[in-house]
Chains A and B, each alone.
Chain A
Amino acid sequence: EAQVTQNPRYLITVTGKKLTVTCSQNMNHEYMSWYRQDPGLGLRQIYYSMNVEVTDKGDVPEGYKVSRKEKRNFPLILESPSPNQTSLYFCASSLIGLAGLNEQFFGPGTRLTVL
């Protein structure tokens, strides 16, 4: 089954404790992206990747890191989480077509609480 998986689905942590949220897709998509969703703000893009070893900042990259060492995986790293990073996080992937980005496939989300 074609899908985007994220782990963990729920995480409660404390300020300053490094964490990684994994994302994996099995559709051989070039484009992968991380978003955070906060009430009233919709989705805001954190980082995206056009292909292996190519990553770029989105709208709200501060406090986050990513890596794209393999095509299928795109982990999101919070080196020193803070309470303002409490949010619902989504990973997504997409093919890159001749006319640009195609539809994005989203993971189920990771609800992160930083105390």
Chain B
Amino acid sequence: SQQGEEDPQALSIQEGENATMNCSYKTSINNLQWYRQNSGRGLVHLILIRSNEREKHSGRLRVTLDTSKKSSSLLITASRAADTASYFCAMRSLVSNDMRFGAGTRLTVKP
């Protein structure tokens, strides 16, 4: 069973617009990570936010974490066509060492 639920499943925007993806989870977590995957390739780590952090920035990426609502969001500002990919949240629970991924959001940025 998956730990994370992501929405939307697919998102299509124009270049220059912002893209927001959401992730909800079920159990208490140690940290939450966001990954990017280009079609059929390995995942690439984007950003990690710890359970005691509320917001984190990295370049055009902004991640928020609300542990009371068990949810996180990834915002990509000023999107580019090269941002077209699938984005996944992943989390490690407090009670085990396994990692659970959401089903992902497929982002398409049109030039």
Interface residues of A (CB under 8 A from B): 4, 31, 33, 35, 40-45, 48, 50, 56, 58-59, 88, 90, 92, 99-109, 111
Contacts and interface: CB of A to CB of B under 8 A. Distances in A.
A99 B42 CA distance: 25
Contacts of B92: 100-101
Contacts of B4: 42
Interface of B: 1-2, 4, 30-31, 33, 35, 40-45, 48, 50, 88, 90, 92, 97-104
B99 A48 contact: yes
25 contacts: A40-B103, A42-B4, A42-B103, A43-B43, A43-B101, A45-B98, A45-B99, A45-B100, A45-B101, A48-B97, A48-B99, A50-B97, A58-B99, A59-B1, A59-B2, A59-B98, A99-B50, A100-B31, A101-B97, A102-B48, A103-B33, A104-B35, A104-B90, A106-B44, A109-B41
A44 B90 CA distance: 10
B42 A108 contact: yes
Contacts of B44: 106
Nearest to A99: B50
A48 B103 CA distance: 20
A33 B2 contact: no
Given A100-B92, A104-B45, A42 B40 contact: no
Given A99-B50, A104-B45, A106-B43, A43 B88 contact: yes
A42 B103 CA distance: 4
Contacts of A35: 101
